[in-house]
Amino acid sequence: MPVRLVIADDHALFRQGLKALLRYESDFEVAAEVSRASDLLPTLAATPCDVLLLDLQMERWLLDDIASLARIAPIVVVTASERTADALAALKLGAAAVVQKRFVFETLIEAIQTVADGLVWMPPAVQAQLTAQWRAAADPRLTAREAEIVRSVALGKTNAEVAEQLSITEGTVKFHVNNILSKLQCASRTEAVALALKRGLIRLN
């Protein structure tokens, strides 16, 4: 029996194009399509669905709906968003895969089949970030430059002031700050400073 799909996307051209491509895939069948978020639950209640292809942005942002929708059918998020944070959030809330619309059709097919088999599929950028976080958790030591930046932040310096002090660009400072937050698994600069001081990773005197 083919995998039954429900396509939820507010762009008719995208839905039509996707259905046209899926006609050549005998392992998949489009059971229904939805153009409005408000029609999602009634459609899923009335339609057998093995995998829901969900656009995050319809007439409203649907990220917060993923947890409840995932209880009804496995979700492959198909989105134009390039933000890794959006993909991670969708996966944490219960989506089984996130595929960006710029990806080739074969990638979407791979993701759908993976999800239909009961597994999780992640885009390369998300895999790379999770790998970096895992490595950081295993070895949370800061480099000399990172420690210097945390110490400057602890002394109240802005990114611009740190950049001027170290003769680097403000963008490079932001890059290091993001790495520091990832390594220490902190959500803010303040939390990172507090944790670095607690662990003895930096000293202020």
**155 lies in the same domain as 84:** no
CB-side neighbour CA atoms (13 Å) of 57: 8
**What per-residue confidence (pLDDT) applies to 137?**
61
Classify each residue of 171-200 as buried b or exposed e, where b means 16 or more C-beta atoms within 10 Å of its C-beta.
Answer: eebeebbebbbbbbebeebeebbebbeeee
Which tokens hold the place of 95?
């989506």
**What per-residue confidence (pLDDT) applies to 66?**
95
- Helix, strand, or coil here: 7? strand
**113 lies in the same domain as 87:** yes
Alpha helices by DSSP H, listed for 30-169, are 40-46, 66-69, 84-93, 105-116, 124-138, 144-154, 159-166
The residue segments making up the domain with residue 45 are 3-122
**What per-residue confidence (pLDDT) applies to 186?**
87
**22 lies in the same domain as 104:** yes
Domain-terminating residue out of 95, 122, 149:
122
**8 lies in the same domain as 104:** yes
Domain-terminating residue out of 54, 87, 122:
122
Which tokens hold the place of 187?
């959500």
**46 lies in the same domain as 78:** yes
**What per-residue confidence (pLDDT) applies to 134?**
66
Domain-terminating residue out of 122, 155, 172:
122
Q: Which CATH number goes with the domain that contains 154?
A: 1.10.10.10
**151 lies in the same domain as 52:** no
**101 lies in the same domain as 24:** yes
**113 lies in the same domain as 175:** no
The model's pLDDT over 119-129, given as tens digits with 9 standing for 90+, comes to 999 988 888 87
Classify each residue of 52-66 as buried b or exposed e, where b means 16 or more C-beta atoms within 10 Å of its C-beta.
Answer: bbbbbbbeeebbebb
**Is 131 a domain residue?**
no
Kindly list the distances between the CA atom of residue 162 and the CA atoms of 70, 165, 173, 186, 193, in Å, as whole numbers in the listed order.
44, 5, 7, 20, 15
pTM tops 0.75: no
Which positions of the chain have pLDDT values less than 50?
Answer: none
**Is 133 a domain residue?**
no
Q: Which CATH number goes with the domain that contains 45?
A: 3.40.50.2300
**18 lies in the same domain as 110:** yes
**What per-residue confidence (pLDDT) applies to 138?**
56
**103 lies in the same domain as 177:** no
The partner residues of 4 in beta bridges, in order of sequence, read 29
**97 lies in the same domain as 147:** no
Which tokens hold the place of 68?
């409840």
